[in-house]
Amino acid sequence: MIKVKITNKAGASLQRELPTDIYQLYHDMREAGISKPPKNILLHDDKDVEVNLSCDSEIGSRLMRLFGKNDTLADTNTVAFAMSTAREEILTDLEQNIIHNQYLTKEMLLDDIKAMTQAAGPVKLTFYCPLVGQLDDGEYDEYIDVGSGFLAAYQERIEQAIAGEQAPGMGDMAQYLGDDSGVAEKLMSAVWTVEDIDGKLFGRIDCHLKEPLTDSELASLRDEVLGQCSDGLCEGFEQRPIETDEGDLYVSYWNSSDDYFLCTEDELDEYLEPHHGMGGM
């Protein structure tokens, strides 16, 4: 979609077509003698590296106009990736918006891709699950278990952290939930977040669908969401510290207790009663 030539002051050069795997790009750059990471390379007026972008399509040319003086090589790859993975259901309208200069910045484009994708799935299905947390206060060798009441005090930081795991360069989580062909056809978007319910923080997974699921499809999607909570997205998320006033906080969407559940919004009331006592530390 977008071709890039990267050259440092020593004359080391590399050419690639974007989007590409950002880690592989950095590896190839270092192999070529360019040590500065893509996220630190400015598209304009970088003091160490010169970046030249080009493309053969009108869409690509107009996308290049969205980048400002503070945008980086990694930002370019993210935009190219978001365009290359845009769902077919929104692609025609998205390209028309680009051609008619509806976006002034890359942020406007990325936000609209997300909004259009979710709008193309007018049926919303939400799952809930308990959250567990561990706190490293720097004073003890073992982590301190914290409850959903404690987590609620840091809702905004936890939201930001889980959103970072689903950045535009990662693609929508729906792409990892399509083992069932019926689910894959209907599911447009899946987003992990959190919600405060009566002062206690719970995990929330919002799924946007083109039409309702059958019972068997719902069971399949539930199993796949559970897999992401325990092993996929959230296995990586729970290993990354979230800074708090009390220390580093680690949050998980899964635990092995008998009280664990993954329920729909319609089922929520029957699961909340056993968790009324899940307070602070």
In terms of domains, do 80 and 12 share one?
yes
Measured CA distances, 66 to 14, 63, 95, 135, 142 (Å): 23, 6, 14, 41, 48
**129 and 104 share one domain:** no
**Close Cβ partners of 228 (under 8 Å, ≥ 6 residues apart):** 173, 176, 177, 192, 234
Query: In this predicted model, what pLDDT tens digit does every residue of 76-112 receive, in sequence order?
Result: 999 999 999 999 999 999 999 999 999 999 999 999 9
Share of the chain above pLDDT 70, in %: 97
Is 68 a domain residue?
A: yes
Q: Are residues 248 and 109 in the same domain?
A: no
Following CA atoms 85, 91, 96, 97 in sequence, which dihedral angle do they give, to the nearest 10 degrees?
A: -60
Q: Does 173 lie in the same domain as 93? A: no
Looking at residue 177, what is its pLDDT? 92
Same domain, 133 and 74: no
Cβ–Cβ under 8 Å, residues 125 and 214: no
Report the C-alpha gap between 244 and 10 in whole angstroms.
Answer: 43
State the average pLDDT over residues 59-82. Answer: 95
Confidence (pLDDT) at 168: 84
Q: How far apart are CA 48 and CA 38, in angstroms?
A: 12
Intra-chain end-to-end CA distance of the chain, in Å = 51
In a domain, 176, yes or no: yes
Q: Are residues 141 and 252 in the same domain?
A: yes
Identify whether 280 is part of a domain.
no
Please report whether residue 37 resides in a domain. Answer: yes
Radius of gyration of the chain (CA): 22
- Could you give the number of structural domains in the chain? 2
With 70 as the cut, is the pLDDT of residue 279 above it?
no
Give the amino acid at 137. Answer: D
Buried b (16+ CB within 10 A) or exposed e, 17-37: ebbeebeebbeebeeeebebe
Q: Are residues 92 and 128 in the same domain?
A: no
pLDDT tier at 272, thresholds 50, 70, 90? confident
Residue 278 has pLDDT above 70, yes or no: no
* pLDDT at residue 281, rounded to an integer: 47
Domain membership flag for residue 208: yes
Q: What is the pLDDT of residue 40?
A: 97
Q: Across residues 157-170, what is the average pLDDT?
A: 91
- The encoded tokens of residue 259 equal 């009280």
The model carries a pTM of 0.87
Amino acid 170: pLDDT: 82
* Banded model confidence at residue 171, pLDDT cuts 50, 70, 90: confident
113 domain-assigned: yes
| Residue 48 scores a pLDDT above 60 | yes
**How many Å apart are CA 158 and CA 151, to the nearest integer?**
8
274 falls in which pLDDT band (50, 70, 90)? Answer: low
One-letter amino acid identity for 55?
C
Q: Do 139 and 67 lie in a common domain?
A: no
C-alpha 40/C-alpha 60 separation (Å) is: 22
Q: Are strands 132-136 and 247-252 parallel, antiparallel or unpaired?
A: antiparallel
94, 118, 142 — which closes off a domain? 118
Give me the residue label for tokens 């006033």.
245
pLDDT tens figures, 6-26: 999 999 999 999 999 999 999
Quick one: 155 and 98 in the same domain? no
**What residue numbers bound the domain in which 47 lies?**
2-118
Q: Are residues 63 and 149 in the same domain?
A: no
Same domain (yes/no): 13, 28: yes
- Written as six digits, the tokens of 93 are 């309208």
* Tally of CB atoms within 10 A around 273: 8
- Select the more confidently predicted residue: 79 or 234: 79
Residue 203, domain member (yes or no): yes
Whether the per-residue pLDDT at 280 is higher than 50: the answer is no
Q: Of 118, 138, 170, which residue sits at a domain end?
A: 118
Q: Establish if 31 belongs to a structural domain.
A: yes
Of 52-61, 135-144, 251-260, the poorest mean pLDDT is in 135-144
CB contact at 8 A, 102 and 120? no
Q: What is the pLDDT of residue 224?
A: 96
Q: Which of 101, 118, 135 is the last residue of a domain?
A: 118
Query: 176: left (phi > 0), else alpha (psi -120 to 50), else beta?
Result: alpha
Q: How far apart are CA 168 and CA 186, in angstroms?
A: 21
Same domain, 227 and 105: no
